[in-house]
Amino acid sequence: MRIILLGPAGSGKGTQGEMIERHYGFPRISTGDLLRLEVEKDTALGKIVKKIMEAGELVADDIVLEIVRSRIAQPDCKRGYVLDGFPRTLNQAILLEKVDGSRPEIAIEIQVSEEALKQRLAGRLVCLQCGTVYNINNNKLSQCQACGARLTVRNDDRPEVVSQRFRIYRETIGPLIEYYSKKGVLFRIDGEKTPEEVFREVKSVIDSRLN
C-alpha cells in the first residue's frame, strides 16, 4: 500500500503522516524532512538545495526522485509507506509510477483555507533531529518530547516565503488532482478539524482500501 498525502504548506501532511505511521506501521517518508536533514548536515546536496528551500521554491525533480527511490528501496517499506510532500508535480507522479508502480495506492488531499494555514505556520515549531512537529498555540515547549532535541522555527515559515509556497502549490496541484482522480484513488478530507478528528477520516479511507 502506498499512501500519498497531498495538501498545501501547513495542511497537516506531516502530522497525519506521523499518526498513520504510529497506527499502521507504514513508515512516513517526508521529502521536506530528508532535504532539511541534508541542509542541517551541510552535505553537498544540502548546499545545493538550501537556497531553493529557503525561497520556498521546488527542488529539481531528479534530486527529489533519487531521495525517494533510495528510501522506498529499504526493507521497512516493503509492506507499504506514506509519502508526505511527494509527488508535488505531475512529472514526479509519473516518475514515481515508473520506479514503484505495482502497488495499490491512495492519494489523500487535506483541504484547509489559506487563512487557517497562515495561523498554523506562524505557530509551528519543529524538531530538526526527528521531524516531530509542534505548535506553540498548543504546547509551550522548547525541547522535543520524542527525542529531547531543541525545537526550532523553520526558515521557510516566514510570511513572505509562505506566500510563495502557497502560490507554487496552487500552480502545481491541479494536474496532480486530475491524475489521481482519473486513477480512481483520490480522496478529499476536511483538514480544519482537530488532528484527531482529521485522522479519524484518514483512517476510514485507509481502512476502506485495506479491507
What is the contact surface with ligand AP5 in residues (CB under 6 A)?
7, 9-15, 31-32, 35, 52-53, 56-59, 64, 85-86, 88, 92, 120, 123-124, 133-135, 156, 165, 191, 194-195, 198
Closer CB to ligand AP5, 115 or 211, in the complex: 115
Beta strand pairing call for 186-190 and 151-152: unpaired
Query: Residue 159 corresponds to which cell in the numbers above?
Result: 510570511
Q: Which DSSP string corresponds to 22-68?
A: HHH-PPEEEHHHHHHHHHHHT-HHHHHHHHHHHTTPPPPHHHHHHHH
In whole angstroms, what is the distance from residue 86 CA to residue 13 CA?
11
**Which one of 2, 13, 28, 71 is the catalytic residue?**
13
Which residue is closest to ligand AP5 by CB?
Answer: 32
Closer CB to ligand AP5, 66 or 178, in the complex: 66
Query: Residue 143 corresponds to which cell in the numbers above?
Result: 525541547
Q: Which residue's entry shows cell 479491507?
A: 211
CB 120 to ligand AP5: min, Å? 4
CB 197 to ligand AP5: min, Å? 7
Q: Does the active-site annotation cover 209?
A: no
Closer CB to ligand AP5, 71 or 165, in the complex: 165
**Which one of 2, 36, 71, 154 is the catalytic residue?**
154
CA 68 from centroid of its chain's CA atoms: 12
Q: Does the active-site annotation cover 188?
A: no
Q: Determine the residue type at 38.
A: E
Q: Does the active-site annotation cover 51?
A: no
CB 148 to ligand AP5: min, Å? 19
Closer CB to ligand AP5, 49 or 211, in the complex: 49
Closer CB to ligand AP5, 127 or 186, in the complex: 127
Q: Does the active-site annotation cover 2?
A: no
Q: Does the active-site annotation cover 36?
A: no
- From the CB of residue 93, how many other CB atoms can be counted at a distance below 10 Å? 18
Buried b (16+ CB within 10 A) or exposed e, 106-140: bbbbbebeeeebeebbbebbbbbbebbbbbeeeee
CB 31 to ligand AP5: min, Å? 3
Catalytic residues: 13, 88, 124, 154, 165
